[in-house]
Structures are given as C-alpha cells and as structure tokens.
Amino acid sequence: MALDGAERADLARLRHERTNRVFEAMDRDEVDVLVLGREGNARYASGLQRLPVAVARPFIPSAVLVREARATHALSGWDFVTAPEISPEQQYPTHWDPAAVAKAIGRIDGVPGARRVALDSVSPQWRERLSSLCKAAGFVDAGPLMRAVRMVKTEDEVFCIRTAVAIAEAGLVAASAILGPGRRERELLGAFVERMSEFGLTVPASEAFALWRLNGSRIMACDVSRVIERCVRATWSPSMAGFCFRVTRAALVAQWDVVRSIGYLIKRSRP
C-alpha cells in the first residue's frame, strides 16, 4: 500500500526539530515555562498523542516546557502514546484530582521560580492552581509563539502532509465513485472513511453533517438528521461551487486527522 517503500518521514527527527523550534521561540520571547493544553500544540511540542475524541476534554496541562533546562515534560495517562524520548522522569501522572496533578507539576525543576509563563489555554480553576505554583510569574498568551513556530513546516512534516493528502484524496475518489442520484450523503461519508481505513488510518472524529450538500432538486438527501433537513430547506442554495467548497473542506479536515495518524502509523513497522 501507499505507505510501503523506502521513503519515510523520520519521526524522531521530526519531533526533535519541532521541540527545538519551540525552545528557540521561548528564548526569543523570554518565556521561562510554556504550559500547553491545546491538543495540537501539546502534540507539536512534546510528541504526545492522546486518544482522539470528538468531545473536547476539560483543560489539563498536557505538556510543560522549561526553557533553562531545555526539558519537555508531558502528561502521562491511560489514553496516551508518549514519545519515546520523553523519559519516565519527564512525565507526570494523570489523576482525577487536579490538585494531585498540580502538585506533580509543581515539582518540575524551573516551574516554581518561573518569572514569565506562557499559556495557550486554561480553565478558571487551573489559572488559580498555576498562579499558586508559579508565585512570581507573569502569565502571557502562548498563542502567537506557537502559531509562529508551527507556521513553517519541516521537511518531515511536509512529507506527512503529502501522504495525508494522498489518503484523503483516495477517500474522496471512493466517495465520488458511488456518487449518483438517490445516494444518501451518509453513504458517501461511509465510503470516504472506509476507504481511508484501508490505508491503515483510523478516524478520530468526523463531521456528522455539513460534509456534502447535494442539489435538493436532483439528488435529495432523504435520510439525514433534522439538522441537515433544516439546512437544505432554509439556508442552502444548491450550487456546484458550494458542493466543491464542502468537499474541499472535508478533504482539509481529513488531511489533518491523517497527518496525526500517519505520524503514529509510520513509526510502526508493518507486520
């Protein structure tokens, strides 16, 4: 299949380069400690991969980076794949009691004395906890730092994206192959995800609606949710342009999921 062959992304190098970029940005912005709760940011900086879900999780610090020690610390839990370079000493355990997680983060070298802490997200409760862990610190938004770092891709990242695009396109080809009058949009969605799974991809969370919008007069979606019926009736003006937009967007969404999965997939040797 598409993933066989000699050409592979070097995922250890990919993670190493990404983490280095984050530390360089922390130097530039004089950020002592970076606390990341956004899944994409934590994944980027630490290689952490949580079990993908469609319902957002409550905030928890998923990765904590300390500039001076050049140390990446990551949450360790039950639904995680932690990158191999993150040693057990650099992991802090998950607890249901957030006070216990905060205590473990407070023991990380460099956290208690931090002067400038950047956060990409937080909950009110965790804002209090982090304020009492880093008593001398000023808190700033980590968004600009992480966006700047992630904007330009490394070669390995481009390779992953290229593979992801190929798989997403294969899914779209499978869906378009069954496109015709009388098809339900959900059948297209089914064909789309099933084809991608044949490439070893698992699909974390898919758009339940708004994926394909078909011309109401010629191809009617007849077994869809109330939500879609309302949309078709009230707001959607059927046009090819709209259809293409939706398909393109679906492909983009799929690509990002694929990028994530491929990252995990390629590092495993196929049996």
Partner 1 sequence: VSSWLLDPARMRRERTDKVRTEMIRAGVDALVLTSSGNVQYATGVTCVSSDPSHAVAEPTMVIVTADEIRIFASYPEGIPEDVPADHVSGPLLVEFPEGARELVGQLGDLLGRGVVRVGFDDLSGASLAALSSELPSMALVDASLVLAPAKFVKSADEIECIREAQARNEIAMYEVLASLRPGVRQSELTGRFLRRVFELGGITNSVDPVWQVTPPSIKQGPPTLHGDVAFPIPSTDRVLRSDDLILVDTGIVFEGYCSDFGRTWYPSGAPPSPRQRDHFQRWCDVVHRVLEITRPGTSGVEINQAARKGEPDRKPWFEHYYLVHGLGTQGSEMPFIGTDLGEAFEADIILEPGVVMVLEPVIWEDGHGGYRAEEVVAVTDSGYEMLGSFPYSPFYDGPIQW
Q: List binders of partner 1 among 120-159 (CB under 8 A).
A: 120-125, 127, 139-143
How close are the terminal C-alpha atoms of the chain, in Å? 13
Q: Which residue number, 27 or 97, has a Cβ lying nearer to partner 1? A: 97
Which string of DSSP letters, residue by residue, matches 207-251?
Answer: -SSSS----TTTS---S--HHHHHIIIII----HHHHHHHHHHHH
Query: Are the CB atoms for 69 and 109 separated by under 8 Å?
Result: yes
Burial readout 37-50 (b: 16 or more C-beta within 10 A, e: otherwise)? bbbebbbbbbbbbb
Q: How far is the CB of 67 from partner 1 (least distance, A)?
A: 17
Q: How far is the CB of 163 from partner 1 (least distance, A)?
A: 13
Q: How far is the CB of 247 from partner 1 (least distance, A)?
A: 15
- Please tell me whether residue 139 adopts helix, strand or coil conformation: strand
Q: How far is the CB of 158 from partner 1 (least distance, A)?
A: 18
Query: Are the CB atoms for 260 and 49 separated by under 8 Å?
Result: yes
227 makes contact with partner 1 (CB under 8 A): yes
Site string for partner 1, 72-101 (x = CB under 8 A): ----xxxx-x------x--xxxxxxx--x-
Interface stretch with partner 1, choices 16-24, 63-71, 116-124, 154-162 (CB under 8 A)? 116-124
- Please tell me whether residue 209 adopts helix, strand or coil conformation: coil
20 makes contact with partner 1 (CB under 8 A): no
Q: Which residue number, 66 or 146, has a Cβ lying nearer to partner 1? A: 146
Interface stretch with partner 1, choices 7-15, 23-31, 64-72, 263-271 (CB under 8 A)? 263-271
Query: Are the CB atoms for 117 and 140 separated by under 8 Å?
Result: yes
214 makes contact with partner 1 (CB under 8 A): no
Query: Are the CB atoms for 134 and 151 separated by under 8 Å?
Result: no
Q: How far is the CB of 117 from partner 1 (least distance, A)?
A: 10
Residues pairing with 140 in the sheet: 118
Instruction: Work out the number of other CB atoms within 10 angstroms of the CB of residue 4.
Output: 8
The correct pick among 17, 165, 209, 242 for binding partner 1 (CB under 8 A) is 209
Q: How many residues does the chain have?
A: 271
215 makes contact with partner 1 (CB under 8 A): no
The correct pick among 205, 239, 244, 245 for binding partner 1 (CB under 8 A) is 205
Q: Which residue number, 34 or 66, has a Cβ lying nearer to partner 1? A: 34
Query: Are the CB atoms for 212 and 244 separated by under 8 Å?
Result: no
Q: Which residue number, 139 or 243, has a Cβ lying nearer to partner 1? A: 139
| Nearest of 34, 43, 35 to residue 15 by alpha carbon | 43
256 makes contact with partner 1 (CB under 8 A): yes
Query: Are the CB atoms for 248 and 191 separated by under 8 Å?
Result: no
Q: How far is the CB of 230 from partner 1 (least distance, A)?
A: 6
The correct pick among 69, 158, 208, 244 for binding partner 1 (CB under 8 A) is 208
